[in-house]
């Protein structure tokens, strides 16, 4: 809840800067994401495309595909399920705060959808879920266009919450 409040405050603080007229600055990001749920820990490759409208306001979309599965043990019936991330997609509003020419922090909030697949001997099922997502992160710019991005994002589904940690390469165009 504190992260959500901080995210909303950053977005509200950035809104006056949104009135500045400037062409959007596109960017792309490729990251490895670790998704930590209550019973599983999955890995994914995440690709983000975004547009920065000014120093403070951006919008981005992201898509992830699973690259690291997990196995869970069902307690009621001793069955092992292999769980995999089929896809995860989301869209965000992003509020940034430049700390220096080479470093900025950001908060983001948005909505996403996820599909998981679970397999056991003789059983295969998939589950889709929509989520409200919010998080914090930072970009460390190595030069004018290339940098490293790290972020933390909380995904709130109807029945569970998942925390994602991502680190990767970001490129401004």
Q: Is residue 126 predicted with pLDDT exceeding 60?
A: yes
Provide the pLDDT for residue 40: 87
Q: Which two tokens stand for residue 16?
A: 């006056």
Q: Can you give the residue range of the structural domain that contains 11?
A: 2-15+23-172
Q: Is residue 28 predicted with pLDDT exceeding 60?
A: yes
> What CATH number is associated with residue 120?
2.40.160.20
Provide the pLDDT for residue 75: 65
* 29 confidence band (pLDDT: 50, 70, 90): very high
pLDDT in tens, 31-88: 999 999 888 899 999 999 999 999 999 999 999 999 999 988 776 666 788 999 999 9
Task: Name the more confident of 12 and 135.
Answer: 135
CA distances from 146 to 41, 118, 135, 158 (A): 29, 38, 22, 37
Provide the pLDDT for residue 16: 56
Task: Name the more confident of 121 and 130.
Answer: 130
* 122 confidence band (pLDDT: 50, 70, 90): confident
Mean pLDDT for the stretch of residues 12-33: 77
| Number of domains, the chain | 1
**Average pLDDT taken over every residue of the chain:** 89
Q: Is residue 96 predicted with pLDDT exceeding 80?
A: yes
Provide the pLDDT for residue 123: 86
Mean pLDDT for the stretch of residues 104-124: 93
Q: Is residue 17 predicted with pLDDT exceeding 80?
A: no
- CA 67, distance to chain mean position in Å, is 16
Q: Is residue 4 predicted with pLDDT exceeding 60?
A: no
């Amino acid at each position: 809840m504190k992260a959500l409040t901080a995210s909303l405050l950053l977005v509200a603080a950035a809104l006056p800067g949104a009135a500045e007229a400037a062409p959007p600055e596109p960017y792309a990001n490729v990251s490895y994401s670790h998704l930590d749920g209550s019973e599983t820990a999955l890995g994914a490759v995440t690709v983000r495309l975004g547009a920065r409208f000014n120093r403070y306001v951006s919008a981005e979309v992201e898509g992830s595909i699973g690259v690291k599965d997990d196995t869970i043990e069902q307690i009621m019936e001793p069955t092992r399920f292999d769980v995999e991330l089929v896809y995860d997609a989301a869209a965000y509003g992003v509020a940034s705060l430049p700390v220096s020419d080479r470093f900025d922090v950001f908060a983001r909030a948005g909505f996403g959808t996820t599909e998981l697949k679970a397999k056991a001997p003789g059983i295969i099922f998939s589950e889709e879920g929509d989520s409200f997502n919010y998080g914090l992160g930072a970009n460390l710019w190595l030069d004018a266009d290339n940098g490293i991005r790290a972020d933390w994002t909380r995904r709130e589904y109807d029945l569970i919450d998942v925390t994602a940690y991502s680190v990767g390469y970001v490129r401004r165009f």
